[in-house]
Structure 1
Amino acid sequence: MPRLFVALPLPERLRDQFAELAGGIPGARWVPPENYHLTLRFIGEIDGWQADEVDEALAGIRARPFPLTFSGLDIFEKAGRIHSLHVKAERGERLLHLQSKVETALQRAGLPPERRRFAPHVTLARTERAAPDKLISFVQAHNLFRPEPVTVEHFCLFSSRLGKEQAHYEAEVDYPLSSPAPAGAPLPPREAAPP
């Protein structure tokens, strides 16, 4: 059974810019560019019937496209050990609004509330085996990293399947964000992500 999560996919030009940062930290396991994403909510393993309810709940979300800005690098640590390196996304009002709508929709579909505070980011590397001083230096050296903002026009329900080296992420369903429609205009139909 695949693990599911809701995330923002990233355009290729942004993935390319993130990929240029990879390297120079012995022991780091770099995330392949095709796996870059910004998680809105981790779901985990659920039964097929509940996945259908999650899909239905997410399809009901209405939000407008918005700009997404990234600024600098940072680390996550647990129990004093640095476990990952990431690019920070700014906590803009529209991003927080979309994430809140996703959270509410998933709770309505029967999922328990997310206990962790939403910290928008894109993971670049797993760093359990990397030297902390090298990581800190790397973050400081790239503190001014600030790619051009991108426009978020959709979000996806992704599946995650474990592979030998890395997990493989696949967009299962795409949920477009819609610009305000004139009064009485029908909303565009949503499409499944291409296989």
Structure 2
Amino acid sequence: MGSNPLHRLFIAIPLPRVQKEWLSHWSRLLSERWSFKKWVHPSDYHITLQFLGPCTFRQGREVKKALKELVPQMEPFSLRIDGLGTFGVPHRPRILWAGVGGDRKTLHQLYSAVTDTVEPLGFQREKRSYRPHITLAKKYKYNDFPHETLEEHFRTDPAVCEWTVRELVLYETHIYRSPMYHPLATFRLGE
């Protein structure tokens, strides 16, 4: 029998439909102004908690079991979309992202709980500090990105930008599909 096929997995907070639609509207406006190689499909908007990488079916099952035991201890909490930012060279960013505000203290506690839970299963936490964000676009094409005036191009709306986080999702990545991320399992906080 052949070797186990590997699945590329990660654990994330999904965005509710209203916030996805709102960000999608802004992404369309920004894409008319800025040339990125790839704009993220609205169904793929999320806040990553832990990237797992290539996993066997058994590892995926162990992660599901561990998360199922963790989430009843975690309470729902409030987050909001908060501003724009970039990763990479300011004039030619790798990533354009929407920021995450709201109850960041609980978000960081959730991040720590998730990474502590999957670490014994062989998944190392990242060396760099946790920077929660929602990726909107990847790989700016030129060397003239207007990073100094980023905030002028984006207005948050408190009525739409805030939501209650009630679940975590274990996603599988399908590189050549759009949308690219497929939910494998959903875990309700506090249940």
TM above 0.5, yes or no, is yes
Residue 117 (structure 2) aligns with: 105
**What stretches of structure 2 of length at least 5 have no aligned partner?**
1-5
Contact 1:5 1:157 (8 Å CA) reproduced: yes
Matches of 2:118 and 2:144, distance apart in 1: 36
Matches of 2:53 and 2:164, distance apart in 1: 27
More helix per residue:
2
**What stretches of structure 1 of length at least 5 have no aligned partner?**
179-187, 189-195
Cα shift at 1:80: 7.9
Residue 169 (structure 1) aligns with: 181
TM-score (norm 2): 0.83
Q: After TM superposition, what 4+ stretches of structure 1 lie above 3 angstroms from structure 2?
A: 78-81
Cα shift at 1:143: 5.2
Matches of 2:45 and 2:164, distance apart in 1: 16
Quick check: 1:42 aligned with 2:51? yes
Residue 20 (structure 1) aligns with: 25
Residue 133 (structure 2) aligns with: 121
Matches of 2:80 and 2:36, distance apart in 1: 29
Residue 98 (structure 2) aligns with: 87
Contact 1:155 1:176 (8 Å CA) reproduced: yes
Alignment RMSD: 2.2
Residue 64 (structure 1) aligns with: 75
TM-score (norm 1): 0.82
Residue 185 (structure 1) aligns with: none
Cα shift at 1:78: 5.7
Matches of 2:155 and 2:163, distance apart in 1: 17
Q: Deviations over 1:9-61 (max 9, x none)?
A: 11111011101112221244211101111111111002222221111111111
Query: For this pair of structures, how many residues does the alignment match?
Result: 177
Contact 1:82 1:132 (8 Å CA) reproduced: no
Residue 160 (structure 1) aligns with: 173
Tell me: CA distance 1:120–1:63, structure 2 relative to 1, closer, same or farther (3 Å).
same
